[in-house]
Amino acid sequence: MDNIKHYEATSLDDAVSILAKGKGAVCAGGSDLMTYLKGFIVADPPTNIVDIKRISGLSYIKKDGDTLKIGALTTLYEIANSDDVKNNCPALAEAAGLVASPEIRFQGTIGGNICQKPRCIYYRNEFDDYPCKRKGESSMCYAVAGVNRYHSIFGLKDTCMAVCPSDTAPVLVAVGAKIVTTKKTWDAKDFFVIKGEQINSIDADEIVKEIQVPAAKKSVYKKFAFRKSIDFPLVSVAVAQTGSSAKVILGACFNEPYEIDAAEIAGGNFSEANAEAIAAKVDAKAKTTAQNKYKVQIAKTLIKRAILSLA
Amino acid sequence: MALPEMKVMGLGTPGNDKIRSFFMDDLLTGKPRFVGDRHFAGQLYAVAKHATVDHANITKIDASEALKVPGVVKVLTYDTNPEWARTAPILYKTVPFYGAPIALIIATDWYIAQRAVNLVKVDYEVLPAVIKTTDVMADDEAMTRDTSAPLSGRFADSNFQSSGVTNRGDVDAALKSAAYTRTISDMPWTTRYQHQPLEQYEALAYWSGDEVYVYIASQNIHGHHRSLHNWTGIPLNKLHVYSPGCGGGLGTRLNNPEALMAVFASKEVDGRPVLYKCTKKHSMLFGGRQFDARSVITIGCDKDGKLVALDVKYVCNGYGAGITPIFSKTLTIPNMRYEGTRLYLNDQDRCAWRCVNDPPTGYHFTHALDLVAEDLNMRPDEIRLKNIMGEHDVDQDSGLPFGTKEVNACLDKVLQESGFASKWHKPGTKKLADGRLHGIGVHCHHDSHGRIAGSDRATIVLMLQDGTAAVLDGGSAPHNQMTEQAIVAAEVLGLKIDDVKTPVYGNSDATLNGGMHGGSSFTGSTGGATMKAAEQCRKQVFEAACKNATFSAVNAKPEDLDSKDSVIFLKRDPSVKATFAAICSSALNPIGGIGHGWNNVDADGTGGLQRPKDGFEVGHNTEMGSACADVCEVAVDPETGEVEILEHWNAVGTGRVIYTDGVLQQMGSGTELQVNMALYYGDIKDIPTGNIIGTQYTESQMITTLDCNPSRYHLYPIEGDNHTGPLGAHGIGEPCVGGYCCILSAIYNAIGKWVDTDHGACNPDRVLKALGKA
Amino acid sequence: MSKETNLVSRREFLKDAGLVVGGATVGSAALLSACKNNGKSGSVTKYVCPLDSKEFDSLQALKDHYASAHEGVALPDFKTLNINGVDYSLIINDYWSLAWVLRETLGLYGTKVGCDMGQCGACTVIVDDKPMYACLLFACEMEGKKIRTVEGLADYGNKLNKVQQAFHDANATQCGFCTSGFLMAAQALIERNSSPSEDEVRHALSGHLCMCQNFKKTIEAVVAAGGK
């Protein structure tokens, strides 16, 4: 990464214009970008690093009626400890508070968390060791015949088994959040559609500005990983009731946040029977391998426990 | 047995627990205390390219793209190796294991070098490889050799390093007539990450004329000195090896090829300082060490659980393992056959760390005993209590007495403190209030560590004019070991601990060729050397004192004197006294001593028993070892497979405790490490190729503070008198990590199923698999 | 480099490290010794040209020199980093992490690099009161921040601050490689929460690995530092 050039953008327009030149990458907190560059993951990595932290007005948490508006540069620590977030969308505070480690939460931003790159171990290997489809370097997914213990339990998408590693992503989808970029306003569900290496569908010269989070006072996030800190989720679930609907969204189970139909709890009936019924739907949809079958068990358990916790 | 009263050493000695680790404050204030903590003008950085195949000939290396990167100074390969480096373990032409270094990139900074590494193109002619012990076994049960297995390439005509059989009594006859027999097959294994210190492997070297200066974190300065000399032919007096602090990983800080890399690289850039620095990934590939073991154990008992026969076939790769006393020295078993075989595999050859062989070996042992106990309707502690060797037993094979034998005391202690007997229940039968399953397990063993070894240890002790002592044992790291040596010197001399100094750096120029100064045999061997050197000083100090007016006035002879707290006094009238400072400042001759350690095996008059024991005389040869016992209580979430250690009791036979905090630190570390090994450590290896693909901490999963409950770990040092050790001491760094199997045993007790730990720890998915939920 | 000793002369150190130190008191003991500076205040007021090692008394003089002697060559950008209360004017390559600059440019080796990937915590420093991994921070982005390292905890002196003293009293280091990182996380915690419970301590330190596996002592020390 010695051949990068670091730009300090003075405004979002300035940042976009640098990105439009190509080979660009946004640097928000920088934690994922740094590991991406140091890992020599792709043969042709970005060399124009655009620091957006000097742009004012991108770090805030404010209430606008029933919606929380959170600037993209707001740190995960701030979100996890914000009374507004804890009161209006507890699942988001929980998810932000479970990302990685305390130090990463002080540095990392919500915008960065939803733009990070996958964690599949083959993907994260050096470009000449495992040139995989997700990196655009072959038509292979090495996980299929290799280690897929941490990978998708709902099959491949675009020949890729990597999961969406973001803790906040399933929450944003569950509450029906909107993600405002320099180009448009996305529904979270449409935002988290994979495109190339990205876990979202924004353009190379598009920058996340703001997350708009509807009120979801009955919401919860549960995370499962082998370790209780530092680790990315192996399975996670966000359950949220917004208005008269409820969503159960699995994280780290597929390339994108994955919805499990939750009609039973739309009216707020968080009973054991309903929890069981919803959890059971995972079995029907799952396409597991011998190595990752356990994730179905974990997913069902988390779904049940999450729903019951809202009772 | 009552231990002699000590002045500074000992668990109960007042003030011993106040001793603070030497140089700790330097670490607390961020002083530069590790190899990489320096920057010489003109310093360059070197990074190696590591082979990504298990076994291959390199047919072509193309560094042209790498050389174009601005800041890259040179790229070195086997072909550019000077003659003297051809037989050394650097820059191979035939790759012996995945991760072997095959090219060295030297650049103006570390990141430039790393980018250039990835631009070096290598063509391999792939050769057949053996990467698991089972690759060379024809029949898993009989464990016969597969003579058609490809050769590892480590040894021209065989994959077998060595093999040994211990025969005791008549195992076949005993098994035939035993009331009960059972055969258990096992294949647990340690991960590569177990051996991974936080300070990655690095070395710095520069040349000044025909002399070279090397900085390397070393637990054997003179080993490094000698091996560098042997590899390169550079005269010993032109080769200066310095060891600043060592960031962990003892066992892997011996004869490191990275020192050679740095020397070689620096020579190739006209002597400019070169820091060879591994990234985490490269450390893992280059320095990691995996232990792969396979066993078939047959146990024969009478109907009451008294063992009559033990037949063990044990195969493992590489260093230090294979023949282990755990099987043969923990329980009384009249008939035993132990066949241990070590293999060459296409695997890293790095040394053992934290007793790499004990955890998996202990597991084979615990697992087998627990299964047998269950068959016989006994509790796991009962079968052990029934068969355990006692304090005064002699070794069943050699007939030698044990220098120290505390395994029964350790077992008694943890069983008592934990209330094991009342807490144990049949497997899979106890649920806690929160729905989790409760389990409890026990383990005990006597192993070969903490032994006295290494007759070439050497320590110099010098008395300075101000009455303080300088202890030069060749080492500097880690700091609690250095502290120990200072305590030994203080004890023998009768000084306050503050009046003993040790150097910050290990320095091959300033100490005698003295072997390993860090690691499991350090306390005993180097401790012995320090003791002897200090004894010589004491003799000279007392002789000098007798010439001093204070004592000459009463016609004192050296044997009339004693010393304590830096004061020398007349035994029959302690009011007649003088300080060390007074005596040393007026001494007519310099005062110093040189001690060499002893090796218990070569009874050279200083080895063997130091005090009579059980009717054996001083000087009699002995068996060595350390004892350990663990009890662990767990809670298993049956819906997620997560395991929480509720409480853990650990007792270790410590011999004489030299340094209370040092011992407690080691024991505490051991209990925490067991959690890593039992529940978290993993290797991520690609399945089709067997290549290592996970090399970051997120894959290796070392525990965080949220993954263990250290306040619920109870540590019981069982202080005893090691009759072979200096002042009764011996090392305890390893045995406390061997009990990880009691965690696995506790999990079995919780869920009623043994978790398959072939190739991995008891991660939740494996627990769920055992429960039939995955 | 001097052949007789391995001490680095000030000129060589400054030139090679691209370091220019402007007018304020230099606090780093390591840097002082490297600079062979024996002034009582340790003030270094020379500006060294990275291209020809000539020395000047002011930044303006250096700029003038560039204009005349190295016409057409852009003067590298100087960034000012505030480390432990002292301003340093530095030439920082775009790709250098804060950990790299602290260690290799400023000679502040207390911050350790364990994994260089933000997974072990050994490189933790405090940035504007927040603990962060220095290996994940671009040094060139650190202008205007107050950065504190382990050397600054006790103001470069040999005295220990409250957290360091608690570690000392608990004898809470083994090899010591992870220690700096733990100290900075603990310091930041105590500043946020003066008397943390054991649970709060374990949470705050959960971004740190220790291969000697010495958590028991470390947690005890930090709890004691808070005096609960």
Convert chain A into a string of H (helix), E (strand) and C (coil).
CCCCEEEECCCHHHHHHHHCCCCEEEECCCHHHHHHHHCCCCCCCCCEEEECCCCCCCCCEEEECCEEEEECCCEHHHHHHCHHHHHHCHHHHHHHHCCCCHHHHHHCEHHHHCCCCCCCCCCCCCCCCCCCCCCCCCCCCHHHHCCCCCCCCECCECCECCCCCCCHHHHHHHCCCEEEECCCEEEHHHHCCCECCECCCCCCCCCEEEEEEECCCEEEEEEECCCCCCCCCCEEEEEEEECCEEEEEEECCCCCCEEECCHHHCCCCCCHHHHHHHHHHHHHHCECCCCCCHHHHHHHHHHHHHHHHCC
More confident residue, B684 or A220: A220
- Tell me whether the omega of the peptide bond preceding residue B89 falls within 30 degrees of 0, making it cis: no
Q: Which of B234, B251, B277 is the last residue of a domain?
A: B277
Q: B interface mutation test: which of C215, C217, C220 has the most B CBs within 10 A?
A: C215
Contacts of C172 (CB under 8 A, 6+ apart): C166, C179, C214, C217, C218, C220, C221
The parent domain of residue B755 ranges over 377-451+620-770
Q: What is the DSSP string of C1-65?
A: --SS--PPPHHHHHHHHTB---SSBP--HHHHHHHT---SS-B---EE-TTT--EESSHHHHHHH
CA B137 to chain centre: 29
Minimum-distance CB partner of B693 among A3, A147, A227: A147
pLDDT value of residue A310: 97
Both B399 and B265 in one domain: the answer is no
Q: Which of B231, B261, B277 is the last residue of a domain?
A: B277
CA C48 to chain centre: 21
Q: What is the DSSP string of B310-379?
A: EEEEEEEESTT-SS-HHHHHSB--SEEEEEEEEE--SS--PPP-SSTTHHHHHHHHHHHHHHHHHHTT--
More confident residue, A295 or B670: A295
DSSP 3-state of B732: coil
Question: What residues in A contact B114, CB-CB < 8 Å?
Answer: 38, 40
Query: Cα separation of A17 and A46, whole Å?
Result: 15
- Among B90-99, B123-132, B435-444, B683-692, which stretch is predicted with the lowest mean pLDDT? B683-692
C145: pLDDT strictly greater than 60: yes
Q: A interface mutation test: which of C136, C178, C201 has the most A CBs within 10 A?
A: C136
Query: Cα separation of C120 and B697, whole Å?
Result: 7
pLDDT value of residue C70: 85
Instruction: Determine contact: C53 vs chain B, CB below 8 A.
Output: no
Does the residue B496 lie in any domain? yes
C-contacting residues in B 241-260 (Cβ below 8 Å): 245-249
Does the residue B192 lie in any domain? no
Question: What residues in A contact B118, CB-CB < 8 Å?
Answer: 40, 126-128
Pick from B595, B602, B462: nearest CA to B528: B595
Q: CA-based angle B277:C82:C84, to the nearest 5?
A: 80
For residues C9-30, average pLDDT: 37
pLDDT value of residue C114: 95
DSSP 3-state of B215: strand
Both B56 and B25 in one domain: the answer is no
pLDDT value of residue B434: 97
The subunits that touch chain B, with at least 3 C-beta pairs less than 8 Å apart, are A, C
- Among A33-37, B676-680, C160-164, which stretch is predicted with the lowest mean pLDDT? B676-680
Minimum-distance CB partner of C94 among A5, A102, A103: A5
Does the residue B647 lie in any domain? yes
- Among A221-225, B438-442, B753-757, which stretch is predicted with the lowest mean pLDDT? B753-757
C41: pLDDT strictly greater than 70: no
Both B490 and B571 in one domain: the answer is yes
- pLDDT tens by residue, C83-101: 999 988 888 889 999 999 9
Both B693 and B579 in one domain: the answer is no
In chain C, pLDDT over 90 holds for what percent of residues?
A: 56
C65: pLDDT strictly greater than 80: yes
Ordered structural domains, chain C, with CATH: 10-45+77-153 (3.10.20.30), 162-226 (1.10.150.120)
Task: Read off the DSSP letter of residue B269.
Answer: T
pLDDT value of residue B150: 84
B334: pLDDT strictly greater than 80: yes
pLDDT value of residue C46: 64
Q: Tokens 């009759």 label which residue?
A: B723
User: How many other β-carbons are positioned within 10 Å of the β-carbon of residue B225?
Assistant: 22
Task: Read off the DSSP letter of residue B275.
Answer: E
- pLDDT tens by residue, A100-130: 999 999 999 999 999 999 999 999 998 888 9
pLDDT value of residue B346: 86
Question: What residues in C contact A100, CB-CB < 8 Å?
Answer: 207
Instruction: Determine contact: B711 vs chain C, CB below 8 A.
Output: yes
Both B116 and B265 in one domain: the answer is yes
Question: What residues in C contact B705, CB-CB < 8 Å?
Answer: 201-203, 205-206, 208, 215, 218-219
In chain B, pLDDT over 70 holds for what percent of residues?
A: 91
Does the residue B343 lie in any domain? no
C2: pLDDT strictly greater than 50: no
Both B402 and B517 in one domain: the answer is no
Task: Read off the DSSP letter of residue B766.
Answer: H
For residues C98-119, average pLDDT: 95
Pick from B132, B155, B444: nearest CA to B291: B132
Strand partners of residue B410: none
pLDDT value of residue C34: 37
Q: Which of A11-15, B32-36, B360-364 has the highest mean pLDDT?
A: A11-15
Both B635 and B732 in one domain: the answer is yes
CATH number at residue B117: 3.90.1170.50
Q: Which of B233, B248, B277 is the last residue of a domain?
A: B277
The angle, 0 to 180 degrees and rounded to 10, between the axes of the packed helices C179-192 and C162-170 is 130
- pLDDT tens by residue, A167-192: 999 999 999 999 999 999 999 999 99
For residues B171-200, average pLDDT: 84
For B639, which residue in chain A has the nearest alpha carbon? A301
For residues B352-375, average pLDDT: 77
C59: pLDDT strictly greater than 70: yes
Q: A289 exposed, middle or buried (CB, 10 Å; 0-12, 13-18, 19+)?
A: middle
Both B684 and B722 in one domain: the answer is yes
More confident residue, B589 or A261: A261
CA B328 to chain centre: 20
To the nearest whole angstrom, how far is the Cα of A295 from the nearest Cα of chain B? Answer: 8
A285: pLDDT strictly greater than 90: yes
B604: pLDDT strictly greater than 70: no
B321 with B189: CB under 8 angstroms?
no
Instruction: Determine contact: B504 vs chain C, CB below 8 A.
Output: no
- Among A58-72, A91-105, B614-628, which stretch is predicted with the lowest mean pLDDT? B614-628
Q: How confident is the model at residue A234 (pLDDT cuts 50, 70, 90)?
A: very high
Both B447 and B459 in one domain: the answer is no
For residues B341-354, average pLDDT: 70
Task: Read off the DSSP letter of residue B583.
Answer: H
pLDDT value of residue C7: 37
Long-range pairs for B683-687: beta carbons < 8 A, 24 or more residues apart: B683/B191, B683/B192, B683/B193, B683/B290, B683/B759, B683/B760, B684/A121, B684/A147, B685/A147, B686/A122, B686/A142, B686/A146, B686/A147, B687/A145, B687/A146, B687/A147
In chain B, pLDDT over 90 holds for what percent of residues?
A: 52
For residues B657-662, average pLDDT: 90
For residues B249-275, average pLDDT: 89
pLDDT value of residue B189: 66
Tokens of A54: 């000097």
Both B589 and B518 in one domain: the answer is yes
Strand partners of residue B440: B633
User: How many other β-carbons are positioned within 10 Å of the β-carbon of residue B706?
Assistant: 17
Instruction: Determine contact: C199 vs chain B, CB below 8 A.
Output: no
- pLDDT tens by residue, B82-113: 777 777 778 999 998 888 899 999 999 999 99
Q: How confident is the model at residue C53 (pLDDT cuts 50, 70, 90)?
A: low
Pick from B223, B205, B242: nearest CA to B509: B242
* H helix and E strand count, chain B: 20, 32
The per-residue pLDDT of chain B, averaged, comes to 87
CATH number at residue B470: 3.30.365.10
Does the beta-carbon distance from A34 to C138 stay under 8 Å? yes
pLDDT value of residue C128: 97
Does the residue B231 lie in any domain? yes
Q: CA-based angle C171:C175:C176, to the nearest 5?
A: 70
- pLDDT tens by residue, B708-741: 999 999 999 999 888 888 888 887 777 777 778 8
Does the residue B2 lie in any domain? no
Does the residue B502 lie in any domain? yes
- pLDDT tens by residue, A9-19: 999 999 999 99
pLDDT value of residue A236: 98
First to last CA, chain C: 52
Both B459 and B446 in one domain: the answer is no
Query: Cα separation of B41 and B38, whole Å?
Result: 10
In angstroms, the Cα distances linking B378 to B300, B335, B375, B383 are 15, 22, 8, 7
Does the residue B602 lie in any domain? no
The interface predicted TM-score of the complex, written ipTM, equals 0.97
User: How many other β-carbons are positioned within 10 Å of the β-carbon of residue B234?
Assistant: 18
Both B463 and B505 in one domain: the answer is yes
Helix spans in C101-178 (H) = 150-153, 162-170
Number of domains in chain B: 3
Q: B549 exposed, middle or buried (CB, 10 Å; 0-12, 13-18, 19+)?
A: exposed
pLDDT value of residue B67: 96
